[in-house]
Amino acid sequence: MAFRDRGIEIKTPEQIDLMRVAGRLVGETLELLRDAAAPGVTTQDLDTLAETHIRDHGGIPSFKGYSQPPFPATICASVNDEVVHGIPGPRALAEGDVVSIDCGAIVEGWHGDAAITVPIGEVADDVLELLRVTEESLWRGMAAARLGGRVTDISHAIETHVRAQGRYGILEDYTGHGIGTEMHMAPNVPNYGRRGRGPTIVEGLALAVEPMVTLGSKHTDLLDDEWTVATVDGSVAAHFEHTFTVTAQGAWVLTAVDGGEARLAELGVPFGGR
């Protein structure tokens, strides 16, 4: 795994405070979508809600127009065997589905990026367990980050948790990333690997951590729309993401509505928010 060490953007405390504004808006938008996702609701409906909420609160949807071909929507909505980058459309969510919703917003030039996977109605036990394992691995990953530690300390904690829970696929072709004045920046943050590698975690570094885990294969296909990433074996996937930073006081989850305070406390990690 080659790391993009160069061009790592180190933020001032004031700039991190601005990232918190963007991050909180993303977190609040996702909570709105979690409540709205239900049988019969289309992924386009969720996208419209997200765009309206972000713009009404002074943000700009960061995914819209991103890359080539330009991503056409505010959220990525990936259903069941789709892992990430699904394009919202007329598909109605059905009882037993899971939908992974990825959302990004820019406020005053600073980015927030986060994702949740939401069960629709009654969902199979193994799928619910996949969601729990993936979300917990995200928190364990962030909890492993310390000032003076290294980026793969996060990667290692994610992989270790997932592997201890059962036979799951962890995507290797997609990773977390640095974030700040752009959505995707150095360094990349893999969801597997040995600890003690990659760039040093310093105050002012902001990272988007995003485990992508499946009930089967770690291998994926890119669908004909040139965006949607789906598992090759049709197995169900989960994706959870937060943008976070480490201050001298502890960890601060910029895209969690409460800054991560409650969940970090459960993990014995000091809260570093302001």
**In whole angstroms, how close is the CB of 122 to Mg ion at the nearest point?**
27
SS3 assignment, position 66:
coil
Q: For Mg ion, give the closer residue by CB, 80 or 188.
A: 188
**CA angle centred on 141, ends 97 and 123, rounded to 5°:** 15
**In whole angstroms, how close is the CB of 242 to Mg ion at the nearest point?**
9
Bond into 69 cis (ω within 30): yes
**In whole angstroms, how close is the CB of 239 to Mg ion at the nearest point?**
8
Cβ(74)–Cβ(65) below 8 Å: no
- Span of 123-131, 186-194, 202-210, 219-227 interacting with Mg ion by CB under 5 A: 202-210
Instruction: Give the footprint of Mg ion on residues 8-67 (CB under 5 A).
Output: none
Site string for Mg ion, 107-136 (x = CB under 5 A): ------x-x---------------------
Half-sphere exposure of 254 (CA within 13 A, CB side): 30
Q: For Mg ion, give the closer residue by CB, 199 or 211.
A: 211
Residues comprising the chain, all counted: 274
CA distances from 145 to 7, 21, 43, 179, 211 (A): 20, 22, 34, 16, 15
**In whole angstroms, how close is the CB of 175 to Mg ion at the nearest point?**
9
# of chain residues touching Mg ion (CB under 5 A): 5
**In whole angstroms, how close is the CB of 113 to Mg ion at the nearest point?**
4
**Which of 208, 237, 246, 256 touches Mg ion by CB under 5 A?**
208
- Span of 16-24, 55-63, 106-114, 219-227 interacting with Mg ion by CB under 5 A: 106-114
Site string for Mg ion, 225-244 (x = CB under 5 A): ----------------x---
Tokens of 149: 């530690």
Half-sphere exposure of 251 (CA within 13 A, CB side): 31
Confirm or reject binding of residue 189 to Mg ion (CB under 5 A): no
The H helix count followed by the E strand count for the chain is 5, 15
Q: Put the strands of the sheet holding 212-214 in their side by side order.
A: 169-170, 212-214, 237-239
SS3 assignment, position 106:
strand
**In whole angstroms, how close is the CB of 241 to Mg ion at the nearest point?**
5
* Alpha helices by DSSP H, 98-256: 125-143, 151-165
Q: For Mg ion, give the closer residue by CB, 126 or 225.
A: 225
**In whole angstroms, how close is the CB of 254 to Mg ion at the nearest point?**
13
**Which of 45, 81, 97, 102 touches Mg ion by CB under 5 A?**
102
**In whole angstroms, how close is the CB of 104 to Mg ion at the nearest point?**
6
CA distances from 265 to 139, 153, 168 (A): 11, 19, 27
Contact residues: Mg ion, CB under 5 A: 102, 113, 115, 208, 241
